[in-house]
Amino acid sequence: MSVFALISSILTITLRAGTSLIYATVGEIYTERSGILNLGLEGMMLMGAVTAFATAFYTGSLWLALLVAVIVGGLLAALHAFLCVTMRANQVVSGLSITLFGSGLASFLGQRLGPASNNYFLVGMVGPKFTPIPIPFLNSLPLIGAFFNQDILTYIVYLLMPLAWFYLYKTRAGLSLRAVGESPQTADAMGIDVVRTRYLYTILGGMLTGLGGAHLSLAYTPGWTENLTGGRGWIVIALVIFAMWNPGRAVLGAVLFGGINAVQFRLQAAGTAIPAAFLNMLPYLTTILVLVVMTWWEALSKRIGAPAALGKAYMREEK
Amino acid sequence: MNDQPKPILEMLGITKRFPGVLANDHVDLELYPGEVLALLGENGAGKSTLMNILVGLYRPDEGEIRMRGQRVEIHSPRDAAALGIGMVHQNFMLVKTMTVAENIILGLSDLPFVPDLREVSRRIRELSQRYRLQVDPDAYIWQLSVGEQQRVEILKLVYRGAEVLILDEPTAVLTPQEAQELQGVLRIMTAEGKSAIFITHKMEEVMTFSDWVRVLQQGRLTAVRKTGETSPQELARLMVGREVLFRLDRKDCVLGEKVLELHSVSALDDRGLPALREVAFDIHGGEILGIAGVAGNGQSQLAEVVTGLRRTAQGRILIRGKDLTHASPLELIRAGVSHIPADRIGMGAVGNMAVADNLAMKGYRGSPLSERGVLRPRNILEFAKRMIEAFRISTPTPNTRIKFLSGGNIQKAILAREIDACDGLMVAVYPARGLDVGATEAVRKMLLSQREQGLAVLLISEDLEELLTIADRITVLFAGQIMGIVPSAETTVEMLGLMMAGVPLADLPALGTHDPTPGSSPA
């Protein structure tokens, strides 16, 4: 295999592996920009994945499956928003609870929603899936071709990224969103509805996360297994920091992690002397490294960082 | 009949209750076009609450608001803005990580969904010229000085076409010169028929800024006066409900030994930038050295360096001749250094702990408050009762959580603890900030009594009157450097103001112009 072909194939896998991460990262960036920390991503992703796969398996409709994943993600996020915004509960506790709840429920559903012939297990079932749609001519270009040999959800990401960036930095709504996460008092005094904004973007974040989960079970894997996400929900939390809450940079992190995944798969397939367990560990090890480096860097530059009001409940008539 | 101008704004019988507090008790207010109304009162008198009702942040329990004679309901800041009412809050409502232009258009709904920021900047420039509010629309808020940030706040209001501007203690963060500029800005606006409500607890500002003054005391409107027909003394009496001593009795003191010496001390701020540059001075026992300067020019770093909370990058710090440059806070406490920090609840006290425990927080290390590492609650309570009595701390019980006390009483408790433990040097940072007249008086008296007992006091303050009344010498910090050290009897507010703006003492015009007879300048 030529070097070009090797790089090209790694790049193709990288983008496929990164897609679910990008959906969830963009979603979480929007949520955190409104000042709400959502640690329930892992649970939402798993729920999105299992419900999407079950829907596709029984109805055969991939689009209906996506819709279900989006709704499920949105509902779990709405619960999180209710707890954190309306009840002003501790956001970390609420998020962790949702992850535990979502993981458990997804696992349960995976053992109950399957066909009777498979003991009602979804594991091992084959359903419809998103397949790569090569774009003629473009997909045969060297290297760049990897970008044009992807499934439709990855193509949508190409549109989503710049849109998400533009919306956040160039529109009135994006300005209001950023203000709510930085200084809810200011936003409130300027007539922006803090509660509505936080609900809206927490739910939007959950929807995108559900969609990310659906990509895993409908395109990347495809299929359902226990713990399908393999901690991707947690990696996304780190990717948000790596992206410095900028959706335009989310692609860097997703590609970095997708790339590590792709490379380690290649290495495992090629039969290297490095133990598989060690290679499997790489993405998580990188997460830790990224967090250390980013925190250190943030301390140096001081300005770039989390939305100032991240994780803090807001209440107007505080005396 | 209708020759008289009609009020643009009326508030009638406004009442607002918070749990356990009657913040506003049937307060009336009238405002005419082109007029500046001062709202005078001590902290907790209900001024801010009344104005927060006007801008829709709080809902009144009773009463009505009329705008141009029409009864209006203001449910949110958006409603207020639509009526032409806007407020510059005491804590600025600005998003630090955004630009001036972004802050100004924040929350505006009559802009295109994708706003043209160049067009916005152009309009801001226009307005800043018209009202003499110089500021760069493309600068980030965090890059601006506090004075500039205030200009942004005012621009924000005029950009939205506000007719009634509410300013909540606007001069607290300004140099005297900046305060004068603000007065000019208000003149331009009132000349255009806009009107302003000016919240303050300083009598001098009422006199210079306003046309009318309304005095609030404990939530009730106690007086309405035409500014020209009243005096600071009368206003103070109306505000506090008793005669107030403007002039504190500062006895002559014999200078003792050198307590604190700083030899070209430099230090960095949290961002690693130089915050203090070769600062050098000394303070003797029986002396108060005042540090003046606009907030953010190294004052807090100076206090931190002297109390061991910040590393000294260069230079030496001596206490009673002993080199304690890199000493820890505990070593400095043991050397007799006391500290009244700027952030009362954050650094000075633990809000959720009892008054008694807060008072014991320095003496708890040894007998009689603890024995062999075990606290002695009975002795702590005894000690606390003594302190509460001696310093007239008004608290329901010694076991009340300190955060439920008023700012003045929290400060008295901190002072009690620090004075009790002080043995040499007292570092007081903005000790009277935000306190009402009565508490301010008490705090200043305590500092003076420290001086009379032969202690050295380092007093960091943004209130020039305060420094001129109680300090023996005044040092001005600008950008971390000392602009000069002057005996307070030989200086004026104008001189200090120029130094605060960065003019070194050596470059000031000759001092011959100031009034040579001490005590004849008004308070």
Distance between CA atoms of residues B68 and B86, nearest Å:
16
Distance between CA atoms of residues A279 and A261, nearest Å:
9
pLDDT in tens, B426-465: 999 989 877 777 778 888 988 999 999 999 999 999 888 8
Identify whether A309 is part of a domain. Answer: no
Angle, in degrees to the nearest 10, between helices A41-59 and A62-81: 150
Q: Across the interface, do B95 and A179 touch by the CB < 8 Å criterion?
A: yes
Distance between CA atoms of residues B347 and A267, nearest Å:
55
The predicted model gives B322-330 an average pLDDT of 93
Identify whether A224 is part of a domain. Answer: yes
Q: What pLDDT score was predicted for residue B346?
A: 79
Q: How confident is the model at residue B517 (pLDDT cuts 50, 70, 90)?
A: very low
pTM (predicted TM-score): 0.79
Residue A312 touches chain B, beta carbons under 8 Å:
no
The CATH number of whichever domain residue A186 belongs to comes to: 1.10.3470
The predicted model gives B495-517 an average pLDDT of 71
pLDDT in tens, B10-69: 999 999 988 767 889 999 999 999 999 999 987 778 888 899 999 998 899 999 999 999
Residue B520: pLDDT above 70? no
Residue B523: pLDDT above 50? no
Q: What is the phi/psi pair of residue B52, to 5°? A: -65, -30
Closest partner CB to B114 (pick from A171, A183, A317): A171
Domain count, chain A: 1
CA distance A292 to chain B (A): 19
Residue A298 touches chain B, beta carbons under 8 Å:
no
Q: What pLDDT score was predicted for residue B242?
A: 65
How high does pLDDT run on average in chain B? Answer: 88
Q: What pLDDT score was predicted for residue A254?
A: 83
Q: What pLDDT score was predicted for residue A61?
A: 96
Q: How confident is the model at residue B106 (pLDDT cuts 50, 70, 90)?
A: very high
Residue A319 touches chain B, beta carbons under 8 Å:
yes
* Cβ-based contacts of A196 with chain B (< 8 Å): none
Residue A171 touches chain B, beta carbons under 8 Å:
yes
Q: Across the interface, do B98 and A192 touch by the CB < 8 Å criterion?
A: no
Identify whether A317 is part of a domain. Answer: no
- Chains A, B: CB pairs < 8 Å: 79
Q: Domain range holding A9?
A: 3-301
Residue A196 touches chain B, beta carbons under 8 Å:
no
* Cβ-based contacts of B21 with chain A (< 8 Å): 319
* Cβ-based contacts of A191 with chain B (< 8 Å): 76-78, 81, 107, 109
Q: What pLDDT score was predicted for residue B307?
A: 94
Interface test with A, best of B93, B105, B160, B403 (most A CBs within 10 A): B93
Q: Across the interface, do B97 and A303 touch by the CB < 8 Å criterion?
A: yes
* Cβ-based contacts of B105 with chain A (< 8 Å): 172, 175
- Coil vs helix vs strand at B133: coil
Identify whether A319 is part of a domain. Answer: no
CA distance A257 to chain B (A): 29
* Cβ-based contacts of B94 with chain A (< 8 Å): 183, 186
pLDDT in tens, B467-503: 988 999 999 999 999 999 999 888 888 888 888 888 8
Closest partner CB to B95 (pick from A183, A300, A319): A183
* Cβ-based contacts of B168 with chain A (< 8 Å): none
The reply to whether ipTM tops 0.90 is: no
In DSSP notation, B282-296 reads EEETTEEEEEE--TT
Q: Across the interface, do B106 and A176 touch by the CB < 8 Å criterion?
A: yes
Residue B3: pLDDT above 60? no
Closest partner CB to B115 (pick from A172, A189, A302): A172
* Cβ-based contacts of A178 with chain B (< 8 Å): 95, 97-98
Residue with tokens 């509960």: A89
* Cβ-based contacts of B81 with chain A (< 8 Å): 191
Own/partner pairs for A258-265, CB < 8 Å, 24+ apart?
A: A258/A13, A258/A14, A258/A15, A258/A16, A258/A17, A258/A18, A258/A19, A258/A21, A259/A10, A259/A14, A259/A17, A259/A18, A260/A286, A261/A13, A261/A14, A261/A17, A262/A10, A262/A11, A262/A13, A262/A14, A262/A17, A263/A10, A265/A13
Q: What pLDDT score was predicted for residue A179?
A: 96
* Cβ-based contacts of A176 with chain B (< 8 Å): 106-107
Q: Across the interface, do A186 and B102 touch by the CB < 8 Å criterion?
A: no
CA distance A167 to chain B (A): 9
Q: How confident is the model at residue A276 (pLDDT cuts 50, 70, 90)?
A: confident
Using only C-alpha atoms, what is the Rg of chain B? 24
Residue A144: pLDDT above 90? no
Q: What pLDDT score was predicted for residue B374?
A: 93
Instruction: Tell me the pairing of strands A133-134 and B62-67.
Output: unpaired
* Cβ-based contacts of A186 with chain B (< 8 Å): 93-95, 103, 106
Distance between CA atoms of residues A62 and B4, nearest Å:
74
Q: Across the interface, do B113 and A172 touch by the CB < 8 Å criterion?
A: yes
Q: Across the interface, do A182 and B107 touch by the CB < 8 Å criterion?
A: no
Closest partner CB to A185 (pick from B93, B108, B112): B93
Identify whether A312 is part of a domain. Answer: no
* Cβ-based contacts of A175 with chain B (< 8 Å): 98, 102, 105-106, 115
Query: In the 8-state DSSP scheme, what is residue A273?
Result: S
Q: How confident is the model at residue A171 (pLDDT cuts 50, 70, 90)?
A: very high
Distance between CA atoms of residues A107 and B119, nearest Å:
55
Residue B315 neighbours by CB under 8 Å, 6+ apart: B262, B263, B264, B265, B266, B278, B279, B280, B325
Identify whether A307 is part of a domain. Answer: no
Mind listing the domains of chain B with CATH numbers? Answer: 9-240 (3.40.50.300), 258-336+422-513 (3.40.50.300)
CA distance A38 to chain B (A): 22
pLDDT in tens, A39-53: 999 999 999 999 999
